[in-house]
Amino acid sequence: MARGKAKEGDGNWKKFIWNSEKKEFLGRTGGSWFKILLFYLIFYGCLAGIFIGTIQVMLLTISEFEPKYQDRVAPPGLTVIPRVLKTEVSFRMADPKTYEEYVAGLNKFLKNYDNDQQANSIEFDDCPDEPGDYINRGPFNNDQGQKKVCRFRRDWLGNCSGMLDSSYGYKDGKPCVVVKLNRILGFKPKPPTNDSLPPGMMGKYNPYVLPVHCFAKKEEDVDKIGTIEYYGMAGYAGFPLQYYPYYGKLLQPKYLQPLMAVQFTNLTYDTEVRVECKVYGENIGYSDKDRFQGRFEVKFDIKSS
Amino acid sequence: VLQDDHKLSKEELEEKYTTSISKGLTSARAAEILARDGPNALTPPKSTPEIIKFLKQMVGGFSILLWVGALLCWIAFGIQLAQGVASAFDNLYLGVVLALVVILTGIFAYYQEAKSTNIMASFSKMIPQQALVIRDGEKKEVPAEQLVVGDIVEIKGGDRIPADIRLIFSQGCKVDNSSLTGESEPQSRSCDFTHENPLETKNIAFYSTTCLEGTATGMVINTGDHTIIGRIASLASGVGNEKTPIAIEIEHFVHIVAGVAVSIGVLFFIIAVSMKYKVLDSIIFLIGIIVANVPEGLLATVTVSLSLTAKRMAKKNCLVKNLEAVETLGSTSIICSDKTGTLTQNRMTVAHLWFDDQIYSADTSEEQTTQSFDQSSQSWATLSKIVTLCNRAEFKPGQENVPIMKRVVVGDASETALLKFAEVILGDVMGIRKRNRKLAEIPFNSTNKFQLSIHETEDPNDKRFLLVMKGAPERILERCSTIMINGEEQPLDRERAEAFQTAYMELGGLGERVLGFCHLYLPEDEFPDTYPFDTDSMNFPTSNLCFVGLLSMIDPPRSTVPDAVSKCRSAGIKVIMVTGDHPITAKAIAKSVGIISANSETVEDIAKRLNVPVEQVNKQDARAAVINGMELKDMTAEQLDEILINHSEIVFARTSPQQKLIIVEGCQRQDAVVAVTGDGVNDSPALKKADIGIAMGIAGSDAAKNAADMILLDDNFASIVTGVEEGRLIFDNLKKTIAYTLTKNIAELCPFLIYIIASIPLPIGTITILFIDLGTDIIPSVALAYEKAESDIMNRRPRHKKKDRLVNEQLAVYSYLQIGILQSIGAFLAYFTVYAEQGWLPNTLLGLRVNWEDDYYNDIEDSYGQEWTRYQRTYLQWSGYTAFFVSITIQQVADLIIRKTRRNSIFQQDLIHESPFFPFSRVQYWFVAMPYAILIWVYDEIRKLFIRQYPGSK
């Protein structure tokens, strides 16, 4: 009985896929399938049209020069170059292969800062070589065409510019990292007041520089970190204000954000040393959740042999 | 098969059970037998351990899928943790949340199930506590559990029979077998073997029935599970619980959704892997797809909707024990109704009178206060006097303010009927009796079949005594020589006798119990004041009396039943009467309530009309059929099927509990959803077997109530109709709920698919999806269960169990491929808007996923050249989730509006007030998807317009 029923069921199943009597495939005739498919073709066609239309309408409400909101991107992040996996810089001094990735990263990033890239004086502007105040370049639109950008000379980075030492100090176990403040359109960083800085930095205070300072992340690493050399415009360990504000990709396609470099010249080898670098400013924020906002962390593990 | 103890003589019994009627068993022997047979109690069925039931809930429905999801989450967590991925803990939490969802819905479902009680509980409650037994030649009180076969027990009025016993001695013993056989009449019990069938013979009393009056001594012949009731109990617990139709529908729905989820999941897993995604990532996509596809909150919503309906039904006197049974009633296509108590009032009532050569009808409604037939005739005055006086029934005192029909009476059913009838017409029956003092009386017994009493008259000038008598009409007529016509005594000639016969046959043919009444004034000279009447020697005339009239009684149908039956008819439900009663009575009641309609004929009727033998009648011609239990016994399953198919109006009479079961099974073979109503223990197997068992709340035995899925608190058949309506409504509304719920699944699924294919940042997170499914969507889904009926749902046929599914192709396709897609597009618009306004134009998003999700890439450029850290991107992504979520919610409002009606335009239906719950988000994002919400609504209105214009097209 049950077996008979099962067979019957099988028959129905096959019949459902292809019913030769009614010429039905999956319960519908060819004509019916055609109508259905045509319906969905038109239906989805219309939907696609409506979707694209509404997207276009939405884009009309958005300026191409500045974003509507910036509450998610500010305050800016502090980025370290080279970009390292798990923020761990680990290499063997004797083996160039172990650090070539870092060197390549730096080379690639600093290429834009080569002098020949900044030759065009229509796009570039000779800003003062000393840190100065913000340079406002008008409203955020192209009524005056593109906006000029300040030049930034790679050699200001000294030993870390890669011009003197093509391995950026890695082959000597004195690694360099380049630090930049993430670009945010229209953002004007405000330097801190002198007395709000950590003790070691007070001496180098300049009201037009946003200072950066690196230190050992952990108590026990304080002795291992050794001397830290800072390079930047006019020897200031920080970002000069005349490079701000940023006017966006469209108005300043060649924009060079100010850089500074940090070289660890006396790191303890064969152990992990955790370093944190921080940028200081009144409108710079730090967050427990975002460990790259206004600061970053690098772990050095240099093997001497 | 029962033994034939009822046929054996006392000596044979003593021998068979090695006992002594006078001395009983010895204690030692009894202990021996007790050890052999076990205690005299019903063994409870092996119940599934609670933990197993609980675990079953944990793996049923979508739970398996979600468990797989949770497991994958934890695996992913483990791997990511080992790899040191920062976001690994997200997967751990997601897994925990998924597990929690499963466990909580499981607990919820388990709690609902635990409410339905165990059927055996009430059987065990029926066991009498103590029994008076003769052992070692002495009378002892022992717990009834210790009774063994061969024990001699004594019972008296009010006792429950402690086991199946063969009576050895009886004095005026009457038992109430109604819980066993459904017969409401008290049955007298004697020591005589009266019937081949042990169930019908008078010398056996059954376990758990009640002894109403008299005393008896009997020998225990069966104990515990071997008793008749024990067998019925095991029959009932042996009947598996059928899956309710809604459970089948939900299972079907789960299969569809799970099928879609698994196939899309696997498909995209393969796509993801072949697109060179990491296997781990692909697994995480798979989880997302499963979570998006599974409507986590739906099963809980269904349960809530069902229990809301159950509450509503409870207010209308339908108490639903098993939640899923709420809908079953709506899909019911056959109702097998018990007669007594459900269709009828379960009390004898005077229905017709015959005097002066004429039949009068009496009012049989529940609330009669007056009787409207012609009461001017002198014959009626005489008849009423006999009815009043020749009656032993009395009202219990202290009920003066209770309506007559509701007063409690001491006496049997017929006498009660007569007493109430007289009280309604004459008033103060007790006063009349007091004024006509009773001098002598012969109570009714089965040998003379009459009852007689002699009274003084209330007229002080009339010194004659009045002899009144009532009984079986033919016996009464035999004793009469005259008949009263219009108050005059006239000789009882052949013509008169024939008129009597015709009236008797006519009333009998109506299935009514007929009683004859006669009287005689005893001549004053022969019977002076001081005449000593002796009922034993009968020193007074009992023949040549004056016949006065006939009264016929019936257990009348409830006044609401005919209407309810016709409503069932128009709703396409076949009502079958199944009763233990006599076929003629059954047929009469069936006709009067419309189960057999006025112009329908049975095969026998046709044969009678055409005057041909029954065999020659074409069975197809007869719409109605009355099947006797004896005929049913000899039928094959095919023959029964044939009857069920060919006749639309069927009455089964004189059926046994097993036969009820057979009938229910027969109906179920026709793919019908069968409802069975019943009240007795004998009904419980059929109640259990039925798709929905309906027990009577007032008259029903505990066993019946336990076996049933639903209890009619007012014992009223009409309440079933209400239940059917509610059941159909909830089915329609669940359809709406499911359509509503399924729609957003596409809007939850699309983000994952696009995310995988176009590599955009994830538009909506798994947790957010859960929040929609288990949060914002629950209230509107439940609200849909409150929708009023659209069309007159009681005028369409019950849904076909296998064809009209809860979730059909059209519903799935419309929800998934049309509204669902529309909704997704609307939500995507909001998503793109959020990103564009923050600096990420749509074109930059495409293919961005890998960098976007790189934990160490903290300076990704957006469309404006701004650089974003990982966390800033994540935060933006969450804003995207919120916008997507809000859009879905907003569009679900439109979805809710369109789902409120299935065919009618929303303008034809009242809007109820909804307040879906919104979380905080930038307010304008609530409105981004608004055009799409409106589009959804307009599109659906157009669809409904087409459906109304061109009904029936595919």
B698-739 tens-digit pLDDT: 777 666 777 788 888 887 888 888 888 888 888 888 888 888
State whether residue B181 sits within 8 Å of chain A by CB.
no
Per the CB < 8 Å rule, is B837 touching A183?
A: no
pLDDT at residue A77, as a whole number: 92
- pLDDT tens digits for A248-276? 988 998 899 999 999 998 888 889 899 99
Residues of A in contact with B760 (CB under 8 A): none
Nearest to A248 among B84, B828, B865 (CB): B865
**Residue among B833, B830, B835, B831 nearest B866 (CA):** B835
**Residue among B237, B185, B242, B231 nearest B206 (CA):** B231
Residues in Cβ contact with B384 at an 8 Å cutoff, skipping those fewer than 6 apart: B422, B425, B426
Between CA B826 and CA B884 the distance in angstroms is: 9
**Which of A204-208, B635-639, B746-750 has the least mean pLDDT?**
A204-208
Measure A203 CA to nearest chain B CA, in Å.
31
- pLDDT tens digits for B789-801? 776 788 888 888 7
| Radius of gyration of chain B from its Cα atoms, rounded to whole angstroms | 37
Between CA B218 and CA B170 the distance in angstroms is: 8
Between CA B355 and CA B483 the distance in angstroms is: 10
How many CB atoms are located within 10 Å of the residue B323 CB?
A: 24
Which residues sit opposite B309 in a β-bridge? none
- pLDDT over 80 at B905, yes or no: no
Nearest to A54 among B859, B868, B931 (CB): B931
- CB-side exposure of A128: number of CA atoms within 13 Å? 10
**Residues of B involved in catalysis:** 338
Q: What is the mean pLDDT of residues B903-921?
A: 48
Band (pLDDT 50/70/90 cuts) for residue A44 is very high
Per the CB < 8 Å rule, is A68 touching B870?
A: no
B551: left (phi > 0), else alpha (psi -120 to 50), else beta?
beta
**Residue among A162, A164, A98 nearest A300 (CA):** A98
Band (pLDDT 50/70/90 cuts) for residue B185 is low
pLDDT at residue A1, as a whole number: 33
Q: Which chain A residue has its CA at the smallest distance from B84's CA?
A: A86
Look at the block and give the residue holding tokens 């009763």.
Answer: B579
For residue A19, what is the DSSP state? E
Nearest to A68 among B828, B837, B866 (CB): B837
Per the CB < 8 Å rule, is A50 touching B859?
A: no
pLDDT at residue A81, as a whole number: 87
DSSP alpha helices (H): ranges in B84-172? Answer: 88-115, 120-125
pLDDT at residue B1, as a whole number: 47
Between CA A128 and CA A125 the distance in angstroms is: 9
Measure B750 CA to nearest chain A CA, in Å.
14
Instruction: Tell me the residue type at B804.
Output: D
pLDDT at residue B760, as a whole number: 92
pLDDT at residue B369, as a whole number: 67
Which residues sit opposite B559 in a β-bridge? none
State whether residue B863 sits within 8 Å of chain A by CB.
yes
Per the CB < 8 Å rule, is B862 touching A86?
A: no
What residues of chain A, 18 to 57, have a C-beta less than 8 Å from chain B? 32, 40, 43-44, 47, 50-51, 54-55
How many CB atoms are located within 10 Å of the residue B267 CB?
A: 12
State whether residue A281 sits within 8 Å of chain B by CB.
no
Residues in Cβ contact with B78 at an 8 Å cutoff, skipping those fewer than 6 apart: none
What does pTM read for this prediction? 0.75
How many CB atoms are located within 10 Å of the residue B703 CB?
A: 31
State whether residue B560 sits within 8 Å of chain A by CB.
no
Residues in Cβ contact with B203 at an 8 Å cutoff, skipping those fewer than 6 apart: B6, B166, B167, B189, B190, B191, B192, B193, B194
Residues of B in contact with A83 (CB under 8 A): 856-859
State whether residue A184 sits within 8 Å of chain B by CB.
yes
State whether residue B833 sits within 8 Å of chain A by CB.
yes
Residues of B in contact with A105 (CB under 8 A): none
Residues of A in contact with B821 (CB under 8 A): 44, 47
Q: Say if strands B164-176 and B204-205 run parallel, antiparallel, or are unpaired.
A: antiparallel
Contact between residue A143 and residue A63 where contact means Cβ atoms under 8 Å apart: no
Per the CB < 8 Å rule, is B829 touching A51?
A: yes
Contact between residue B744 and residue B820 where contact means Cβ atoms under 8 Å apart: yes
Residues of B in contact with A87 (CB under 8 A): 856
Per the CB < 8 Å rule, is B858 touching A51?
A: no
Contact between residue A147 and residue A44 where contact means Cβ atoms under 8 Å apart: no
Measure B771 CA to nearest chain A CA, in Å.
23
Band (pLDDT 50/70/90 cuts) for residue A55 is very high
Instruction: Tell me the residue type at A5.
Output: K
Q: What are phi and psi of B867, to 5 degrees?
A: -110, 135
Between CA B312 and CA B326 the distance in angstroms is: 10
Strands, DSSP E only, in A148-246?
Answer: 149-150, 176-181, 209-216, 228-231, 238-240
Measure A76 CA to nearest chain B CA, in Å.
8
Band (pLDDT 50/70/90 cuts) for residue A42 is very high
Per the CB < 8 Å rule, is A72 touching B865?
A: no
Between CA B952 and CA B954 the distance in angstroms is: 6
State whether residue B875 sits within 8 Å of chain A by CB.
yes
pLDDT at residue B238, as a whole number: 61
Measure A181 CA to nearest chain B CA, in Å.
9
Per the CB < 8 Å rule, is A73 touching B935?
A: no
pLDDT at residue B610, as a whole number: 83
Nearest to B856 among A70, A85, A249 (CB): A85
Residues of A in contact with B928 (CB under 8 A): 58
Per the CB < 8 Å rule, is A252 touching B865?
A: yes
Most A CBs within 10 Å: which of B869, B878, B942, as the mutation test of the A interface? Answer: B869
Contact between residue A119 and residue A254 where contact means Cβ atoms under 8 Å apart: no
pLDDT at residue B494, as a whole number: 87
State whether residue A252 sits within 8 Å of chain B by CB.
yes
Nearest to A72 among B836, B841, B879 (CB): B879
- pLDDT tens digits for B831-866? 999 999 989 999 999 989 888 988 888 889 999 999
pLDDT at residue B184, as a whole number: 56
State whether residue B876 sits within 8 Å of chain A by CB.
yes
| Cβ-count burial A184-214 (b if 16+ within 10 Å, e if not) | bbbbebebbeeeebeeebeebbbebbbbbbb
Instruction: Tell me the residue type at B53.
Output: K
Between CA B4 and CA B79 the distance in angstroms is: 75
pLDDT at residue B952, as a whole number: 56
Residues in Cβ contact with B30 at an 8 Å cutoff, skipping those fewer than 6 apart: B135, B146, B148, B150, B151
DSSP alpha helices (H): ranges in B801-841? Answer: 809-813, 820-837
Residues of B in contact with A69 (CB under 8 A): 837-838
**B917/A181: higher pLDDT:** A181
Residues of B in contact with A68 (CB under 8 A): 836-838
Greatest Cα pair distance in chain A: 98
- pLDDT tens digits for B142-167? 888 888 888 898 888 767 788 888 88
Residues of B in contact with A54 (CB under 8 A): 829, 931
Residues of B in contact with A29 (CB under 8 A): none
Residues in Cβ contact with B35 at an 8 Å cutoff, skipping those fewer than 6 apart: none
Going edge to edge, which strands form the sheet with A228-231?
Answer: A78-81, A176-181, A259-264, A228-231
Look at the block and give the residue holding tokens 């103060």.
Answer: B428
> Degrees (nearest 5) of the Cα angle B608, B609, B610?
95
pLDDT at residue B121, as a whole number: 45
pLDDT at residue B613, as a whole number: 82
- % pLDDT > 70, chain B: 91
- pLDDT over 70 at B37, yes or no: yes
Between CA B221 and CA B244 the distance in angstroms is: 40
- pLDDT over 60 at B913, yes or no: no
Look at the block and give the residue holding tokens 């019937």.
Answer: B195
Per the CB < 8 Å rule, is B867 touching A58?
A: no
Between CA B545 and CA B33 the distance in angstroms is: 59
State whether residue A246 sits within 8 Å of chain B by CB.
yes
Measure B870 CA to nearest chain A CA, in Å.
8
Q: What is the mean pLDDT of residues B50-77?
A: 83
Between CA B208 and CA B223 the distance in angstroms is: 11
Give me B6's structure tokens: 């009822």
